[in-house]
Structure 1
Amino acid sequence: MVPGWAGALAGLVSGGVALGMAQLVAGVVGPETSPVVAVGDAAVDLTPAPLKEFAIRTFGESDKTVLVGGVLVVLAVIAAAIGVLARRARAYGFAGLSAFGVIGLLAVLTRPDAGALDVLPTLIGVVAAAWTLSWLLGRAEGGPVPGSATSGGVAGDGAGVKRSVAGADDGPPVAAGAAEDVGVERPAVMRAGAELRAFDRRRLLTGVAGGVVVAGAATVLGRQLGGRQTVDAARVGVALPRAANPAKPLPAGTDFHINGLSSFITKNKDFYRVDTALVVPQVEPADWTLRIHGLVDRPVELTYDDLLKMPLTEADVTLTCVSNEVGGPYVGNARWLGLRMSEVLRRAGLRSGADMLLSTSADGFTCGTPVDVVMDGREALFAVAMNGEALPVEHGFPVRQVVPGLYGYVSATKWVVDVKVTTFDADEAYWTPRGWSAKGPIKTQSRIDVPRPGDSLRAGRTKIAGVAWAQHTGVDAVEVRVDGGQWKQATLAQVPGPDTWRQWSIDWDLAAGDHTIQVRATDASGYTQTEQLAPPAPDGATGWHTVTVQAA
């Protein structure tokens, strides 16, 4: 029999070929049809909310990479086990691969808008794996052992086979009469019918090398065919129109320019990303359309060119993820350019009783946005640009929603393609049945950026600084205290309006020793954030951000 390690290696390579061929075919059919992506998406959908919070909290924006890596590790273990089983009978290996394929097909076919062609990557991957596994094990089994039944030797109960080292019970057997090969390690491999074949390490390893090359080449080519280059080129080629309603220039003093303090404008490359998309949707602007329908008098459908020709508005808006822990990083501020959502909804003619906008992403994600918030005069946008350039692909290109004052899970749909005007009673968005609140107004929060937790500082005058936010209400005051003492007012930076975060800063004399620093904000409505700690679920975290430092 082929050694266990050889069977496992053959299984691993076969699994790699399966994924590579599936990636190649998915590059033609659509990257979301890859079985790894489909299984990963299914895992995201089925994961309980507390576990998702843990993943975001622990791995941050790398949570999807960790998930895909975990799926690949599990697949590798399964593939190796299949290879070990297939040593005994090919049927065992084929049965294992078939089961593996069924799981992939179920994940693919249960995706929104799944089509008949979506099964091709998984099917072709499984067929390629089965062929590769059989081929590699065939190479490992080599040719007949001299003296065995198929080579003219004596068949039956093993007569004619002797040990290569006299007296050694654990030595590899070789054929009788092959004394000149006594010192050569050529273990016999049993096949059906008691046929002895010599295990051929060299042929196995050369076959493995070939399989690795095929798997790698197919994966790379599949990714290239996936359309990322095409969409990136289309994005770079977008000629953004001037805003019909430009944002006012930022007032002097919006940014203190303190080292370590979050800048007022967050660069696109630094802007947080939290969403459910394992593979970033690749949406060609020429193919994009936005459909507005449901409880409206006149359904509307816009192309990308239609949208760019309409009067666009520019606005400075801070976005916040509901998964953000107290003091967490999932908040950022940018200047957005887009079409006012209220303008499109008025054109469609909202019907009485409509209170929710169920928006859908190109990858099937949905979120529910309160109608009254969008229509109350704030700069809620179908955004096409971010900080002066077309939206980055990972941030929603070609079009996304931006709604001030609401957590992203109920407002900030990326790659938006459909908006159904409906009611909260009639429809649920993605996160609501998973335990999150149907409506998500942002809670007043503040964060200490400087100093960092655990910093070692020089005793004496110390700069303490951070940001605070209460989108569409505005921050009126920030207070800081050290070691549970008296609260002191921090100096606030200027802001262009109530929809952005606000920098704050204060100087403090720290004596030598350990110190605990806390911050709290008061918004324009007079509400001061609560000390009571609460987790992000179901409607946003609360509590005072606290850091501990040491001065010497």
Structure 2
Amino acid sequence: MAAGVAGGVGQWLGSRKNADASRAAVGPLTPAQPAPPVPADADFAKLGTPTFITPNADFYRIDTALVLPQVPAEDWTLRIHGMVDRELTFTYADIRNRPLVERIITLCCVSNPVGGPYISTSRFLGVDLAELLREAGVREGAEQLFSTSADGFTAGTPVSTLLEPGRGAMLAIGMNGEPLPVEHGFPARLVVPGLYGYVSATKWVTDLELTTWDAKQAYWLQRGWAEQGPIKTESRIDAPNGHVAAGKVRVAGIAWAQHTGIDRVEVRLDGGPWQQAVLSAEVSTDTWRMWWAEVDAPAGSHSVAVRATDRDGYTQTDQIADVVPDGATGWHTITFSAR
């Protein structure tokens, strides 16, 4: 038994070394279509929000991998098959040698509770996924893109969403100017703006099958989660924390409504009237927006709540819902003390 465990650990360490060496050998990745610079007034980090672009080391990680899959780029292939006119197989070199596009995208996990930390923003680099699918020729009747990772995880993504003009779904090989970190899917992963990761963000992806919803059921659907996974309009308070001076108190946070866009954010103190917050510059409808507001807080304990309204006119509900089956709802509320 001990020898078997030792052998397994040795094999894992060896493969990890090979994957790291492979990633290092990839070298710089240069976009043919770089993302525009983030304007200074899009970032309110000095007010207590996250930085607009999340460093790779701080980007949230939620997946089912107990041990990170180790796939050297030189051994990786991606197969596109199923309800297509022609089956295609790509190598890493095939993808890297295509014109690469860079897109700034906010990702959010369906398991993120109200006010939770599982949301981050990155500059993803790769190729347009819809272009690859059109090259394969998606047949009429194909409903889901059933993606499989190197370790067997599966996700089902609506084909209609992927093929929407301007959706911007990607097969990503880079993240914030460098090859994908192993923990975020190296050599390649899927990124679909506006969808929770459980239906779209397959890391270490190796297989894409065009099929129907009836034909196959992906990992999380088998466990009671919803078939469709659009990211809900939500907001979060990041500041203040703990004790503050009585008087004018600055409240700051983030809001998101991917692929729709934030129209306004409002806060209220101690259940009083809502007041509109100041929004940061919008980078795109596929990214979060920062906000801040000032409230008059006399000495004592206080609560402050936030709600966002998107450009479709939807305002967050105050009804509390669990993350299962399709994402949490409710107003994020914090307490603080003014002295």
Fold similarity call, TM over 0.5: yes
Q: 1:292·1:419 contact (CA, 8 Å) conserved in 2?
A: yes
Shift of 1:21: 2.2
State the SS of the aligned residue for 1:237.
Answer: helix
Q: Which deviations, in whole Å up to 9, do the C-alpha atoms of 1:275-315 show, x marking residues without a partner?
A: 00000000010000000000000011000000001121110
Matched, 1:415 2:204: yes
Shift of 1:337: 0.4
Shift of 1:355: 1.2
Please name the residue that 2:8 is paired with: 26
Mapping of 1:27-66 within 5 angstroms?
27=9
C-alpha distance 378-240 of structure 1, shift in aligned 2 (>3 A): farther
Please name the residue that 1:303 is paired with: 91
1:24 & 1:480 partners in 2: Cα distance?
Answer: 56
Please name the residue that 2:292 is paired with: 505
Shift of 1:415: 0.2
Stretches of 4+ moved more than 6 A in 1? none
Shift of 1:223: 4.7
Q: 1:291·1:302 contact (CA, 8 Å) conserved in 2?
A: yes
Q: 2:155·2:219 contact (CA, 8 Å) conserved in 1?
A: yes
2:238 & 2:287 partners in 1: Cα distance?
Answer: 17
Please name the residue that 1:251 is paired with: 39
What is the percent sequence identity of the aligned residues? 56
1:252 & 1:267 partners in 2: Cα distance?
Answer: 17
Unaligned stretches of 5+ in structure 1? 1-17, 28-220
Q: 1:381·1:402 contact (CA, 8 Å) conserved in 2?
A: yes
State the SS of the aligned residue for 2:302.
Answer: strand
Unaligned stretches of 5+ in structure 2? none
1:229 & 1:505 partners in 2: Cα distance?
Answer: 45
| Code of the aligned partner of 2:74 | A
Please name the residue that 1:472 is paired with: 259
Please name the residue that 2:186 is paired with: 397
Please name the residue that 1:429 is paired with: 218
Shift of 1:526: 1.0
Please name the residue that 2:69 is paired with: 281
Q: 1:243·1:311 contact (CA, 8 Å) conserved in 2?
A: yes
Q: 2:29·2:178 contact (CA, 8 Å) conserved in 1?
A: no
2:50 & 2:4 partners in 1: Cα distance?
Answer: 42
State the SS of the aligned residue for 2:210.
Answer: strand
Mapping of 1:176-325 within 5 angstroms?
221=10, 223-225=12-14, 227-325=15-113
Please name the residue that 2:246 is paired with: 459
Q: 1:478·1:492 contact (CA, 8 Å) conserved in 2?
A: yes
1:331 & 1:271 partners in 2: Cα distance?
Answer: 8
Alignment root-mean-square deviation, CA: 1.2
Q: 1:250·1:495 contact (CA, 8 Å) conserved in 2?
A: no
1:223 & 1:397 partners in 2: Cα distance?
Answer: 16
| Code of the aligned partner of 1:403 | V
2:159 & 2:130 partners in 1: Cα distance?
Answer: 9
Shift of 1:252: 3.4
1:399 & 1:240 partners in 2: Cα distance?
Answer: 15
Shift of 1:496: 1.6
Matched, 1:440 2:237: no
Q: Which deviations, in whole Å up to 9, do the C-alpha atoms of 1:416-450 show, x marking residues without a partner?
A: 00000001121110000211001100000000000
State the SS of the aligned residue for 2:183.
Answer: helix
Shift of 1:231: 1.0
Please name the residue that 2:176 is paired with: 387
2:134 & 2:172 partners in 1: Cα distance?
Answer: 18
Q: Which has the larger radius of gyration?
A: 1
Matched, 1:371 2:152: no
Matched, 1:514 2:288: no
2:91 & 2:168 partners in 1: Cα distance?
Answer: 21
State the SS of the aligned residue for 1:25.
Answer: helix
Please name the residue that 2:134 is paired with: 346
TM-score of the superposed pair, with normalisation by structure 2: 0.97
| Code of the aligned partner of 2:167 | R
1:341 & 1:409 partners in 2: Cα distance?
Answer: 17
Which stretch shifts more, 346-355 or 505-514? Answer: 505-514
2:313 & 2:266 partners in 1: Cα distance?
Answer: 14
Q: 2:71·2:186 contact (CA, 8 Å) conserved in 1?
A: yes
Indicate the structure whose relative CO is greater, using CA pairs within 8 Å and at least 6 residues apart: 2
- Structure with the bigger percentage of helix: 1
State the SS of the aligned residue for 1:250.
Answer: coil
Q: Which deviations, in whole Å up to 9, do the C-alpha atoms of 1:176-224 show, x marking residues without a partner?
A: xxxxxxxxxxxxxxxxxxxxxxxxxxxxxxxxxxxxxxxxxxxxx4553
State the SS of the aligned residue for 1:307.
Answer: helix
